[in-house]
Chain A
């Protein structure tokens, strides 16, 4: 008789994509039988997506790495010849090598991670090591969205905030944004539509959520800025902006010095109020009061500022309110002007602008919630203007993206929708001061042997003196982040790390450690050349990047280039935290953090990367990880999470829930030895619901800001005024013009800084667009994300790859016919930088000047445990081969990125397409030598009748 199988259910947190839904893992005899959504979890409320439902196939994938591996002595890097070693050998090799680097020049160790929801730990490790060369994937993902919005409204989308679709009447989604984040947005969209809301999607392509939009507005890629500026033009021209909101909550009425000859040109004029040196916006700026017709300190009780006009100060200085300057800026950005750039008819632009303005004005929401603002004024209600927006990479991944996103933030502000019901709402830890307080060091002496970095590796510059450069203005960081080339690169520029290290510009490094990032394939631009750089040797026969360590759970393309491979666990096999110190999963109504707990044991010798960092930190005696005597402080990662405090006795650690000795405290409290168990008992999630009076208007909400300050989420309880006009940007521009007392940019970057650091949003074609012959390359080429493969992971998944095994280039039907390309033809796609052969598919759901494909499906032959003849490599393709990581310009090389933030400009590339010759192989090009299976990888089955409880039998 067969024994009855043992069935049990364990709760944890998903990580099939970056959304982090609550899941229940059903086990049968210890094997994963079913994964469903946890109905009690605040994020997904029981639902789950296609990826989350396919976790079983991730867990048992033949792409799993199960043993530490070393490149075989004598074999060439990239050849895929590995031999297993013990963890002890891996750790001692690393500790010795990294110890020497740390004792001599810590910046020669670079740590870049694809995953950026573990930065509280990875960032701590890098800082303690003392290297400035640390970043996560944000720079090549969506940093423009973070920076553009945070430098404007003090918060942004996704983890930082989002559209309040519960109360919105009109929802406008611009560009591809679906996977940030996915299930919550799907839940909200469905409810929104069923409640009668109107959903407008502005996107070159109609796929994803656009499919259920009430109106699809096709737009040319990279022209969103022109559209948004035309919306602003119309909203102002028709008087549809929320004047009361702007006066109180933005710098609209504050006076800017417009005397061109003045050293203070473009700066706010200020009252003579001494201010302490701090990172908030001091309230020392001036209004021109309508009642008294004279300048008064901003927000003076009883005063009402002019938003328009020109005034003369007592000393003769000519000044204008910010709003006046904005109005002048958008004067010529008419709908007719935008039509020629975006391809959207002027009438449509005008109609949509009016719909936004009228909906915001006439369908106001009043919630009976009393609250007190930062000026001490008490309010009986919270007002909402029910127009909500959402955007992400579609706007961000362009070299003009920062200014585009500034325009979006300003449009949302003009409509009076910031942290109000039915509009945009923040999530803790946002809003933060503009800019937030964290700073990088601003001089190379911050990097010293055997010392932690004197400052954060990533921060938020507020003026040129915050840049991380040396005496002559050259970058200190390998990726040139926070230098004059990309001053506000708040997430770093991971996409340039390999090219710079290979070239030795700004310097050579010794060890590059990559965690969970496929920098030899879909996470790199110019993949063909970058793969060569990873293998390239100098004249002495040494590799130009001497030592490469890759930590990953799977046999990605990147692992082939490793000298040392560290096998990571899957999300089902480890402890993990989604911390408020990092990028938590907060809701609009308050902070939420969460954990993962292991539901199955690690496969083979897999070890969580968190444990690797704790162990290495201990062996290297990084101060945080050892006691005063240099001995081990933390037994392991779970022990570290329980006991680590930001400062001794601060009561603040990675987790905010169940603190205090008995788990009785929240947000702050002593370490609780049973914290993990308490999380596990409570759905692995801690949700702190703020009082209703703290849930809105948080930039200016006294109660909320003081609560936030008490809990050390912000340092100051000062109001966070919206920056319609950005003095921060103006400071950089002024420096480029030789004004002010701050540092000045090097000669070759002056023009670039002066042009792009405009304190008001403007439209310019993308850098690549400006540099490309559009007659020769008439089409824009972009990618979209298939929902079954959000966040680019899991192409090796046996179930998901049956949904998308290869990708096609989608071409507008008329465009294709004009070029003689039939549906299903093999074609060449060529950019100035490279070409790929792939298959075309006709589509009427794409605007005529754009071609697109699904991201993340094309793979290198033999990678990810797939056979060399798998569709992913033979029919699937990678668009990245067409995209350069650098553009001509600057002093030789400049990153193909936004000149303000360093955001990778994935969506700027221009291409032409033509039919492949008859007789060419029906196979994508380029092809690479198939990757080999590594020791410890299981065989790929040719037939699989998966039935849990019998996998290992």
Chain B
């Protein structure tokens, strides 16, 4: 069975945030949008981003590493956000494993965001509904796009090609090969 996913090569991620804003610009005017910005020109601006980069330091000077860690929905094999949803708005697609939210069914109870171990669900304070990464579902099957374009926005934007995308259940896919060759690991496999 197909399981589409993102694989991220932290060895080359420089934390440039291209994936963060390219995701935002594609999705805010796409099928998952709009993605609200509150106080966009005022104090403490906040907004909906399906993808964020965390930066942190590891180790003590001078043996310090600076790590940039992009985070978005992992489209888990067994997503904890789905069973907790009281309305069935959160669901995992059988055909490709993508986890989506049906906005029409969402009541904004936030159970899913409490259940998500990665904190990648984004509550829209204006519409009072939960939003999240769709793996650019409105790109990857769009017949009007070329094959190169039928990839998530974050993957296409990434200047260091740190982000790879594909079917991790297909051993011949680029992502499966990358995982094998670079010793890839799942976050929190449990």
Interface positions of A (Cβ within 8 A of B): 28, 33-37, 39, 44, 46-54, 56-57, 62, 182-183, 186-187, 189-190, 193-194, 206-212, 216, 218, 787-788, 796, 798-803, 805, 812-814, 843-848, 865-867, 869-871, 874, 940-949
Contacts of A803 on B, CB cut-off 8 Å? Answer: 17, 20-21
A798 touching B159 in the complex, CB below 8 Å, given contacts A36-B22, A211-B68, A814-B61: no
Nearest-CB residue, chain A, relative to B146: A39
Complexed CA–CA distance, A865 and B12 (Å): 36
Interface SS of chain A: mixed
| Across-interface contacts of B65 in A (CB, < 8 A) | 206, 211
Known: A209-B14, A943-B37. A845 touches B157 (CB 8 A): no
CA distance in complex: A37, B159 (Å): 10
Instruction: List 18 A-B pairs, Cβ < 8 Å.
Output: A34-B26, A50-B16, A50-B20, A54-B24, A186-B159, A187-B161, A209-B14, A211-B13, A212-B11, A218-B62, A799-B24, A799-B25, A802-B45, A844-B60, A867-B41, A874-B43, A942-B39, A946-B34
Beyond the given A54-B24, A870-B43, please list 12 additional residue pairs across the A-B interface where CB-CB is below 8 A.
A47-B156, A48-B18, A49-B159, A193-B11, A208-B14, A798-B47, A799-B21, A803-B17, A847-B62, A942-B39, A945-B126, A947-B28
Contact with A along B77-89 (1 / 0, CB 8 A): 0000000000000
Residues 1 to 34 of chain B near chain A (Cβ within 8 Å): 11-18, 20-22, 24-26, 28-29, 33-34
Contact (Cβ within 8 A) B18 A218: no
User: Could you tell me if A869 and B42 are in contact, using CB atoms closer than 8 angstroms?
Assistant: yes
- Nearest chain A CB to B126 CB, angstrom units: 6
Residue in A54, A190, A194, A870 with the greatest tally of chain B CB atoms within 10 Å: A190
* Residues in B whose Cβ lies below 8 Å from that of A946: 28-29, 33-35, 37
Q: Does residue B95 face the partner (Cβ distance < 8 Å to A)?
A: no
- Cα separation A869 to B42 with both chains bound (whole Å): 7
Minimal beta-carbon separation of A64 from chain B (angstroms)? 12
Q: Is there an interface contact between B25 and A56, defined as CB atoms closer than 8 Å?
A: yes
Q: Which of these, A49, A208, A943, contacts B38 with CB under 8 Å?
A: A943
Which residues of chain B have C-beta atoms less than 8 A from A186's C-beta? 14, 16, 159-160
- State whether A802 and B46 are in contact (beta carbons under 8 Å apart), knowing that A62-B41, A211-B67 are contacts in the complex: yes
Max chain B Cβ within 10 angstroms of own Cβ: one of A36, A211, A943? A211
Does B44 count as interface, using CB distance less than 8 angstroms? yes
Q: Does B162 reach chain A (CB closer than 8 Å)?
A: yes
Closest residue of chain B to A812, judged by CB? B61
- Decide if B41 touches A940 in the complex (CB within 8 Å): yes
A34 touches B25 (CB 8 A): yes
The reply to whether A798 and B62 contact each other, CB–CB distance below 8 Å, is: no
B38 lies within 8 A of A942 (CB): yes
Please state if B14 and A940 are interface contacts (CB–CB under 8 Å): no
B158 within 8 Å of A (CB atoms): yes
A949 touching B29, Cβ below 8 Å: yes
| Contact mask for chain B residues 141-181; partner A; CB cutoff 8 A; 1 contact, 0 none | 00000001000010011111110000000000000000000
Q: How many A-B residue pairs have CB under 8 A?
A: 195
Judge if B49 is at the interface, Cβ distance under 8 Å.
Answer: yes
User: Given that A36-B156, A212-B11, A945-B34 are known contacts, is A871 also in contact with B43, CB under 8 Å in the complex?
Assistant: yes
Q: Are A788 and B45 in contact (CB under 8 A)?
A: no
Quick check: is B64 within 8 A (CB to CB) of the other chain? Answer: yes
Q: Once bound together, how far apart are the Cα atoms of A218 and B11, in whole Å?
A: 20
A52 contact set on B, CB distance < 8 A? 18
CB nearest neighbor in A for B66: A211
Q: Cβ of B41 and Cβ of A845 under 8 Å apart? A: no
Listed from nearest, the 3 A-B pairs whose CB atoms lie closest are A190-B160, A798-B40, A186-B159
Q: Which of A189, A206, A798 contacts B160 (CB 8 A)?
A: A189
A210-B66 contact, Cβ under 8 Å, with A53-B157, A940-B40 = yes
CB–CB B42/A46 < 8 A: no
Of B25, B148, B153, B159, most A-chain CB atoms within 10 Å: B159
A889, chain B: closest CB distance, angstroms = 36
For the complex, is B129 an interface residue (Cβ under 8 Å from A)? no
A123 and B49 alpha carbons, distance in the complex (Å): 43
Interface contact B37-A944, CB-CB below 8 Å: yes
CB distance from B64 to the nearest CB of A (A): 4
Q: How far is the CB of A366 from chain B (nearest CB, A)?
A: 29
Shortest Cβ gap from A418 to chain B (Å): 27
Q: How far is the CA of A949 from the CA of B126 in the complex (A)?
A: 20
**Residue of B with least CB distance to A806:** B44
The answer to the question of B190 belonging to the interface, with a C-beta cut-off of 8 Å to chain A, is no
Query: Once the chains bind, are B29 and A948 in contact (CB under 8 Å)?
Result: yes
**Which residues from A are CB-within-8-Å of B40?**
57, 798, 801, 940-941, 943-944
Q: List A contacts of B104 (CB < 8 A).
A: none
The residue of chain B having its C-beta at the shortest distance from the C-beta of A941 within the complex is: B40
B16 and A870 contact, CB distance less than 8 A: no
Q: How far is the CB of B20 from chain A (nearest CB, A)?
A: 6
Q: Are A216 and B41 in contact (CB under 8 A)?
A: no
Task: Let me know if B61 and A844 touch, CB within 8 A.
Answer: yes
Q: Is the CB of B36 closer than 8 A to any CB of chain A?
A: yes
Check if A46 sits within 8 Å of B43, measured CB to CB.
Answer: no
Q: Which residues of B contact A51 (CB under 8 A)?
A: 21
Q: How far apart sit A816 and B43, CA to CA, in the bound complex (Å)?
A: 28
Q: Which residues on A sit within 8 Å (CB–CB) of B153?
A: 36
- Is B33 within 8 A of A947, CB to CB? yes
Residues of B within 8 A of A943 (CB): 36-40, 126
Is B183 engaged at the interface, CB distance under 8 Å to the other chain? no
Taking CB atoms, residues of chain A closer than 8 Å to B189 are none
* Residues A805 and B44 in contact, CB atoms below 8 Å apart: yes
Residues of A with C-beta under 8 A to B24: 53-54, 799
Residue among A33, A182, A869, A944 with the highest chain B CB neighbour number at 10 A: A944
Contacts of B26 in A (CB 8 A): 34
Contacts of B35 in A (CB 8 A): 945-946
Partner of B42, one of A49, A845, A866: A866
CA distance A301 to B12 in the complex (A): 49
* Chain B residues in 8 Å Cβ range of A218: 61-62
When distances are taken between beta carbons in the complex, the residues of chain B under 8 Å from A944 are 36-37, 40
Is A802 in contact with B43, judged by CB distance below 8 angstroms?
A: no
Closest chain A residue to B28, Cβ basis: A946
A189–B39 alpha-carbon span in the complex (Å): 37
Q: How far is the CA of A57 from the CA of B64 in the complex (A)?
A: 35
Q: In the complex, A867 Cα to B162 Cα: how many Å?
A: 37
In the bound assembly, the distance between CA atoms of A867 and B42 in angstroms comes to 5
| Distance between Cα atoms of A34 and B59 in the complex (Å) | 40
Name the CB-closest residue of B to A943.
Answer: B38
Q: If the complex has contacts A34-B25, A54-B25, A209-B14, are A190 and B64 also in contact, measured as CB distance less than 8 A? A: no
